[in-house]
Amino acid sequence: MNYGVHGEKLVSALANEKLPVEDKPRIELAIESYCSWISVINDSIADDIPELVEKMVKELNTYKRYIDLDLIFDSPNDFLYRQKGQLKLDNTVIEEFVPILVKKCIAMKYTDQTWSIAPQTATYSSVYFNTSINGSVIGGGMTIKTKDQDFALTRKLFIRSSYQEDFLPDETVTISTNLGFVLAEMKTNLDKTMFQEASATAHDVKLAVTGAKYFLLCDYLDMTPISSATTDIDEVLILRKAKRINSNVRAKYSTFHGRQVAREGYAQYLDNNPYSVDVFQRFIDHILALLSNETLVEEDVLKFGHF
């Protein structure tokens, strides 16, 4: 089986020498659950896009609750919980889910696609020329800078550079890259520092591709909301419509005993704040609206009186 970004993290965790012996069969079971989950969401069908989104988000909620609660929170050791940031067992679930969801939704409306959708895609950022006025480097030493994105809807682009107008093969450099048109960064807990970093990334994205859209997706809000209208971020989507658990409560989760005592409250918190179907639908609608944009025709503009 070809593992996605989340599946790879589970396999890596199983191979981690620091993983407690008691957790190995639990990770093995998680890999089996992952395979079943991926099979179900890949095979999901529906009569329309809203129904598909609802069915797939329901499967997401079931699987993510298992990862967050049964695998990590219930571990009799503290390794999985304390090393969540390094192991990335929980936050990669969304990174793998969103591209699958978007692909399936778009496929219901567009059969002929010229774009690709994937997590962690190296997308075009800028181009520079590493040469001097007397330099003889082919193509002026053209170099493409790229940046990985958690989610990217891209089109393949080929750029050719040469000092000769006839672009002779021996005197030309050709580079392929990916133009990002819809990009998204995904966070579990969005704080002010992350928001500011995302704002800077969104600015760079739109300098590279003027028609690009940049979204920030997070599970929980961990900051006072700031209007995205003052930034190059198109929209911040809070997938669970919830705030992060307070730090004084989270502090009790660092030990197995503390997690046992707090388990009922944590489970209730997850159940009361599931992933929101309508927030995912909003993200899909943003993408479909962008894909439906067509080149303006003068006759239509004059007919309707606006553009």
pLDDT band at 295; cut points 50, 70, 90: low
Mean pLDDT of 26-35: 98
Mean pLDDT of 137-166: 93
**pLDDT confidence of residue 87:** 96
pTM of the model: 0.91
Q: What is the pLDDT of residues 165-211, one digit of tens each?
A: 999 999 999 999 999 999 999 999 999 999 999 999 999 999 999 98
**pLDDT confidence of residue 140:** 93
pLDDT exceeds cutoff 90 at 307:
no
**pLDDT confidence of residue 291:** 87
Mean pLDDT of 17-31: 97
Q: What is the pLDDT of residues 148-160, one digit of tens each?
A: 999 999 999 999 9
Q: What is the pLDDT of residues 220-279, one digit of tens each?
A: 999 999 888 889 999 999 999 999 999 999 999 999 999 999 999 999 999 999 999 999
pLDDT exceeds cutoff 90 at 119:
no
**pLDDT confidence of residue 255:** 96
Three-class HEC string of the chain = CCCCHHHHHHHHHHHCCCCCHHHHHHHHHHHHHHHHHHHHHHCCCCCCHHHHHHHHHHHHHHHHHHHHHHHHHCCCCCHHHHCHHHHCCCCHHHHHHHHHHHHHHHHCCCCCCCCEEECCEEEEEEEEECCCCCCCCHHHHEEEEEEEECEEEEEEEEEEEECCCCCCHHHEEEEEEEEEEEEEEEEEEECHHHHHHHHHHHHHHHHHCCCCEEEEEEEEECCCCCCHHHCCCCEEEEEEEEECCCHHHHHHHHCHHHHHHHHHHHHHHHHHCCCCHHHHHHHHHHHHHHHCCCCCCHHHHHHHCCC
pLDDT band at 297; cut points 50, 70, 90: low
pLDDT band at 134; cut points 50, 70, 90: confident
Question: Would you say the C-alpha torsion 234, 239, 245, 247 has a positive or negative sign?
Answer: negative
**pLDDT confidence of residue 111:** 82
**pLDDT confidence of residue 296:** 59
pLDDT band at 79; cut points 50, 70, 90: very high
**pLDDT confidence of residue 84:** 93
